[in-house]
Structure 1
């Protein structure tokens, strides 16, 4: 007779312990065993842990960092600032020119706090990534962009991530995009990525590529290869936990050329610098381990992780897709 398996997760941070798992009886037994060796104080269901606020209702679990945002605004004396609707001014491109900011340590402290906020606020990831590139010598323009981002947070304090139960849908869906030569200082491209497990946003990132791409196809193919590595890692993790993916993962891209290269191993002058990525992606597609599909740019939700100039319609629609409203309990 096959024994029943349980999944148990334990997160320890100094003297705070978070325990969760797939069976309540196993959890209670584990906590009792811990209590026999250590002096424990059980606080019940989690509602606040490491600056993360947790709210539960019939629709699912909400994660937010409202208190952390308010404390951050107070630290910079911006608790009474006027909110704005976008995290960046339209048409503003950050460079390495201009007057030095007189208080660089404050800038670095605020950016560090903003990086922690990206765990529940994905729509600021791109701007935080951009501002983080000027930590060594921040200029006045960078500080103004940072304050704009804080004003955006002031207007979205009640928003966070929503995780809904979907036991019958363990499919992985990845969106990838790239802003070719978007960095005005190095001319490197910025890759954007988000991974969904069912309808739940699981992973997201906005990062500058390590090499300059000579064509947009080359830049987008590198972004797709990055999506493949995330999929393979997640599939392996879920299998170890006893929840193998039942469906073939899908990667959505708005570039037809990259799809053609993935399905047909053809090299030319524009792909010679990414041959390893091409072979890697083509092999996975040929073995039906993953599928690449086309999505029109208008519906490319990962666009918010790659662009300097955020259109107002993009900001509002992507925000509704990636984040859910968290009402104060």
Structure 2
């Protein structure tokens, strides 16, 4: 093995003699990634500068895309013969196992039909419920009770905080296919260093909700438009401990949900307009990254991209070219939104609070509002759908 980066004792041309298998060593992951990337590039693939796990290969008559997670690989392309050629090449280089059409990948269950693709994590959810002993519990209608706000040191300290950390860590992995629990999981993850009984009770409530909806997931239609659309929202001073606001956004591509996030803002906002504008700024950054990925995948999308916001004051700041004394503290966040607005990349627009989909990522909603917004995210129950 060639000496790792930073090792200065080896002379030029020298290699490391391994006393045991490379597998399991600290350098193994780096060496494997370097070797795999080198073989793909030698085969004609290009590594995306925006996501180093994505590789693409384009010719005059075909296009292939490959994404890798450690040693698990997903491949798609327009020409089946090119995919077979790639599989033969990888098998020659590394001895791979071809599992056919993707049905189960890193905990994601994938069901395909002529109408589109369904992605859910039913087995993963049932495994969590089984480990905690809640397979027979009474289901809940929402991830959190309406209006619930968690604070530090609520109730009594947990005797074993590792159990809470393990549960929250497993729930975080659900964010890949369950946007409906994103807000609840963000709230729970704030207290992994010092969990109390109230935080554990809230986590159990999330599991009770998952018990009633283990098969819910996302549907991606086979035929759709190539248009981005984003919703952004903020819950001003949402954190009772630090009074920092909460950002929530979701991005649709062709009517299908492709990106979502709930995150506490890094600074304290002085007004709801400032909190909304910071949320809009993060949404624009996400849209920029998604547009770069779309370019890598040779997807042409329409501009400008509408960003739906329910705060009129934040929209006025976008259009106002002058910063006054009361707004100059948000000038840095304003720059990226205004620059992309003037360049025709995004178009911030007003939306009624009643149909603001990003509310799902910033607040603990009641059953009626929660169910109404959830169906608009494109989530469906896949129980009984054949794979």
TM-score range, shorter chain: over 0.9
| CA deviation map 1:10-43 (0-9, x unaligned) | 32433x3322223322111111222233333322
| CA deviation map 1:77-135 (0-9, x unaligned) | 11111101011112322111331112210000000000001111001001100110001
Per-residue deviation, 1:268: 2.4
The one of 283, 286, 297 aligned to 1:227: 283
SS of alignment partner, residue 81 of structure 1: coil
Any unmatched runs of 5+ in structure 1? none
Per-residue deviation, 1:5: 4.8
Distance 1:150 1:28 in 2: 42
The answer to which of 108-117 and 237-246 deviates more is 237-246
The 8 Å contact of residues 264 and 282 in structure 1, kept in 2 or not, is answered as no
Distance 2:82 2:193 in 1: 49
CA RMSD after TM alignment: 1.5
Tell me which residue corresponds to 2:48.
none
Normalising by structure 1, we get a TM-score of: 0.94
Distance 1:253 1:237 in 2: 24
Distance 1:304 1:9 in 2: 32
SS of alignment partner, residue 304 of structure 2: coil
Call closer, same or farther: CA 1:247–1:280 in 2, change over 3 Å. Answer: closer
| CA deviation map 1:267-302 (0-9, x unaligned) | 223322110121221222122121111110000011
Distance 2:243 2:122 in 1: 36
The 8 Å contact of residues 53 and 65 in structure 1, kept in 2 or not, is answered as yes
Tell me which residue corresponds to 1:54.
110
Tell me which residue corresponds to 2:172.
115
1:1-329 pair list within 5 angstroms? 3-14=60-71, 16-97=72-153, 98-167=155-224, 169-307=225-363, 309-322=364-377, 323-328=379-384, 329=386
The answer to which of 60-69 and 3-12 deviates more is 3-12
Q: What number of residue pairs does the alignment pair up?
A: 325
The 8 Å contact of residues 8 and 27 in structure 1, kept in 2 or not, is answered as no
Per-residue deviation, 1:71: 0.6
